[in-house]
Structure 1
Amino acid sequence: MMSTLTAQTYCQTLLVGFWGLLHQTAIITYPHHNAEGPCTWVMPYNGCKVWMCIKVKKLLHQKKFASFLAMLANRENLMSSFEGDVECETIYLYPGNLVIMPPGQMHAIYTPVACFCRGKHFFSYNALHLTEQSQHVDKLKGQYITNKEHRGTLETMAHMVIALPIISRSKVWLSMMGNTLVQQTKQQTSECHTQAKAVATKVLHHFGITTELDSFKFVEDPEVDLNFKGKEVLVYGLLEEFHSVA
C-alpha cells in the first residue's frame, strides 16, 4: 500500500519531534505534558536538569482526568495541595544521562545552571493507548497543560496505521488511535489519509465502534481504566482485505 508524499510533508514526517533545548540558569518549567501524545527522550549535553515526573494515582475518566491535569499545571496551585492524589519522582540529569517518558507523562523541570539538551518525540505501537488518552486530554484542556505542537504528527500516525496490514503475523496491541485518526482526517483528502482512514475504520468496527456516539461513550466511560491497553488482536487476519494493495 503506497502513499504519495510531497518532499515537504516527507521531511515533516521524518523529522517530527527532533529538538534542542537551551536554558539559562534558574529556569522553572511548570507541570505540563508534551502535546499530541508522543513518547519522549531527552539527554543533557552540558549543565544539569532536575526533572520531576508526576503520576496521578486515582482512577478518573477522560473528562475529569483532563480537568485534574489542568489543576496540576496551574502555577498558582502548590504540589503539596495534591498530596494523596499524585506521586512524584525527581531525577537529576547530567551530561550523558537519558530519560525516556511515555505519552502524556506530566512533568516539571528546574534548570539550576545553564544547560543544553537534545531530545526526540516518537510514537510506539505499544503506547498508543496512552497517545489516544493524551490527545483527548489536549482536545479538552490543551491550552492549559501542553507545550509546542509539532508538525507531521498526523502524517506519522497515518503511516503507522497504513503499516498495520503488513506487520508480521505476530500479535500487537491495538488502541483507540484509530478513532483519533478518523476524526482528524475528516477534512483530509490525500491518498495517505484516505488509506489510513480505511484501515483505522476497520479496526474500530472490530471493536464495535461504528458511530461517533460509540466513540464518545468509550472515551468518557468512567469504568474504563485509562492505562489499560485493550484487547490483543492478530492484525494480519483482521486486516486481510488490505493485503492485496499492501
Structure 2
Amino acid sequence: MSKQLTTIDFHGSKLIAIAGDRPENTLVAMKPIVEGMGLSWEGQRKKIQSHPVLSTCTTVKEAQLAGDNQEREHTFLALNRLNFWLATIHPDRIKNEGVRKAVIIYQTELADVAFNHFFGKAIAAGNHLTAKEAGGIAKGVVNKALTPISAKLDELMQKVDGVLAVRPVGVAVVNHRTAKGWLQHYGVTKRRRGLSQIVSNALTRLSIKMGYVISYTAEEGKRSFHEVVANAYFGVGAGRHLLPKTVKDQKEMSLEPAPSPFHQTPA
C-alpha cells in the first residue's frame, strides 16, 4: 500500500489519508479529524485504543502532516470503520453549540466524502468489484429507492388498520383512553382475566367501523380509543353488560350524555 498522503478538503478543514485499493486498507489520519470538530484528540485517542473493535482497525505510522515540519507517529483508522467511530460520539453530551454542530456535520458527511474521493469513480465503472461487493452496492441503491415506497405502504397500512396515530411522549389527549382506562372510567372494577384485551379488540373494530382514530401513545405503547367510540360500546353496544348496576341506572336516567351517532364526522 502506498505511504503517500492524500489531502481532502472538508468544510474548511483538511482530511489526511493514505489511499488503499479497498476501504479496509485505506487509512485516515484521526488527529486532524478530531481537532477539526473541536474535540480533544487525547481523549479520543484513548477511547479508540481501548475500544474492542476500533483498536483492531487502527495503525500507527510515521507521517508529516500539514502544518508540521517533521515526521511524527500518527494514528490512522481504516476508512470502513470511520462511520463506526463517528457514531460513538454523542452530540447531545457536547455543551458547546459550535462544536456540537461541527460534530453533526462530520457525522453526516465525512465518511461519504472520504469514500467517494477514493472509490467514487471506481464504483461508477464497476469493473473492480466482486459479485458480492456489486450486490451489496446494488442492494443499497435499491433500498434507498424503496424508502419512499415503504413510507407510502406504511401510510396505507395505517389507514387499513384504522388510521393509527402515534402521540408524542408527554402529549395528553383527554378524550382518548386505553381499554383498561375506559373500564376504570365506567366503574368496571371486577374484571376477569383477559377482559382488557377483549375490550381493546372490540373497541378497535368499532373505531374502524365508526371512522375514528386509534391512538398509540409512545410512553405506553398501547392502543387508546376516542370517547365517542367508548360511549357507543359501553352505552348501547356489546360492552353495556359489563357496567355495574349503578352505572347502568345512571345511563337509563340520562345522567350521562348519550353516545354520538355513528355518522358523526371523526375527530
As a proportion of its length, which structure holds more helix?
2
Compute the TM-score of the two structures, normalised by the length of structure 1.
Answer: 0.21
**Would you tell me which structure has more strand in proportion to its own residues?**
1
Which structure ranks higher in relative contact order (CA pairs < 8 Å, sequence separation ≥ 6)? 1
